[in-house]
Structure 1
Amino acid sequence: MSDDTRTQGYQKMQLELNSDDSVRSENIRQTQANFTYTYGLQETLDAAINFNYQVLKDPNAASNQGMGDSSAYIKWRFYKRGTWSFAVRPQLNLPTGNSNKSLGNGRLGYSAYMISTYSSMKYTVLTNTGITYNDNMIGVRNKLWNTSAAVLVDASSKAKFVIETGASRNTDYTVHQPALFCIAGLIFNPNNKFDIDVGYRKGLNRSDVNHSWGVGLTYHGT
């Protein structure tokens, strides 16, 4: 889902666990589990690191599983006034996955994102725009972009409905059509310590996944 401009606050932390199960049109299935730890360096500055584990099942090739590429980033909210806020998020993409098993790129990459948030009493609008230098050893495109927008609507004091859409440049050199998708989801906040989310992603063309289900748990610590 699109990131927001919220930061943890000085010396506060957050733990995120989530899992996605995706199917492409070629019946290739990818299951991925992610772990992200975020720490507040300053009131408006976070540092985070992400690890993931992947299971790839391809009916036309050998199936593989193992650790995928990791990432480390900082997020700085540089502007907030009234209902609007803006942040930037530079990121290193770390080659911790085995590129010979299609679990990683095999080389260090980097990304940069611009994030905006508009918040009102009943709904929130998020926009993300990013560029990535996807250096790799697996023969895919290395200059990528992505953009997305999401609307979160309060369903109650403890739940939000989420609708998101986005596009990204295809990593395949032979495909010029961007990948398009939409997501529908629900975020449940049983208390101020935990968030539980579930979502369904549908690819809008053959460049994206056919469909994907995701579930996540977030803990907000001090």
Structure 2
Amino acid sequence: MNRMEMAISLMSKKFFFLFIFILMTCIAGLTPAAFAAIPLITDDTGTQGKGKFQFEVLGEYDHDKEDGIKGETQGITASLTYGILDPVDIVLSVPYVFWRDKESGCTEKEDGLADLAIEAKWRFFEKKGFSFALKPGVTLPTGDEDKGLGTGRANGYLFLIASKEADPWAFHLNLAYIRNENKYDERRDLWHVSLASSYEIFKPLKLVGDIGMEKNPDRCSSIDPAYLLGGFIYSPLENLDFGLGIKGGLTETESDLAVRGGITWRF
């Protein structure tokens, strides 16, 4: 091993331990979100392969201040994926949420299990680095809607995913319809659109970016939440990833600032 290789190896080890420290600091609470390559929100068309598993732990801390109300949402979501066929996965996600609102010195807070999600991903087309997938899913009303931890009703959604791999770049597009049955008089028909990209700087490290928008469920608002996210994915092993990102709101109905981080293990 020459001096340059030794220096890179030493820097990689220091980077790894620094990342673990940061991740464990922020993962104490984070909000559940659709699973993609952590910290991204936009999913890709990749699947695990027949008989293979993937386990993910995603965390997010959201901070928002609007009309004198300071809101914080924290949570953690565990997700298990299994490849039933090479192009088909099934996924179970279990979220736990903490939230707190503070106004005029008064604080309201709750925590508990949120709505479970079950979904499948089917990559139905793949050619020359370009691929399409469908991802249908359902959420089950396991969260207490009276505590703001769920909608109180089962819901469904369908994502169309497109990916383009062109090393060292990758690009991903998500278009979705979300059925939002609820007990809060919110809009029931929602849409989602997002675009993400990644760039591999060198073998263990990728820079990632994500931008997206979703229909606001609040009937009284015509401003849809939109976000911009930047971060990285560090892969010390082929089957192990660490991801960390910062998400900022582009519109007033999106959370002002969020930190997303997590671990992905494939086996």
> What's the TM-score once normalised by structure 1's chain length?
0.98
1:68 is aligned to 114
1:156 alignment partner, one of 185, 198, 202: 202
Moved more, 100-109 or 60-69: 60-69
2:23 is aligned to none
CA contact (8 A) 1:141 1:172 kept: yes
Residue 110 in structure 1 maps to residue 150 in structure 2:
no
1:175 is aligned to 221
Residue 187 in structure 1 maps to residue 222 in structure 2:
no
Q: Percent identity?
A: 26
CA–CA distance in 1 between the matches of 2:201 and 2:186?
Answer: 42
1:18 is aligned to 58
Give the 5 Å matches for 1:60-99: 60=103, 62-99=108-145
CA–CA distance in 2 between the matches of 1:12 and 1:145?
Answer: 31
Residue 29 in structure 1 maps to residue 72 in structure 2:
yes
Residue 218 in structure 1 maps to residue 259 in structure 2:
no
Residue 47 in structure 1 maps to residue 90 in structure 2:
yes
Deviation at 1:137, TM superposition (A): 1.2
Which residue identity does 2:142 align to in structure 1?
T
How many residues get paired? 221
CA–CA distance in 2 between the matches of 1:32 and 1:20?
Answer: 6
Stretches (4+) displaced over 6 A:
none
Deviation at 1:139, TM superposition (A): 2.3
Deviation at 1:207, TM superposition (A): 1.1
1:7 is aligned to 47
Deviation at 1:73, TM superposition (A): 0.5
Residue 140 in structure 1 maps to residue 180 in structure 2:
no
Deviation at 1:176, TM superposition (A): 1.0
Deviation at 1:25, TM superposition (A): 2.1
CA–CA distance in 2 between the matches of 1:88 and 1:193?
Answer: 24
> What's the TM-score once normalised by structure 2's chain length?
0.81
CA contact (8 A) 1:19 1:32 kept: yes
CA–CA distance in 1 between the matches of 2:178 and 2:140?
Answer: 13
CA contact (8 A) 1:18 1:215 kept: yes
The structure with more radius of gyration:
2
CA contact (8 A) 1:25 1:206 kept: no
Residue 57 in structure 1 maps to residue 94 in structure 2:
no
CA–CA distance in 2 between the matches of 1:137 and 1:97?
Answer: 13
For the aligned residue pairs, the C-alpha RMSD in angstroms reads 0.8
Which secondary structure state, in structure 2, belongs to the residue aligned with residue 155 of structure 1? strand
1:199 is aligned to 245
**Superposed CA offset, 1:2-61 (max 9, x none):** 111000000100000011000122321000101100000001000001010000111135
**Gapped regions of structure 2 (runs ≥ 5):** 1-40
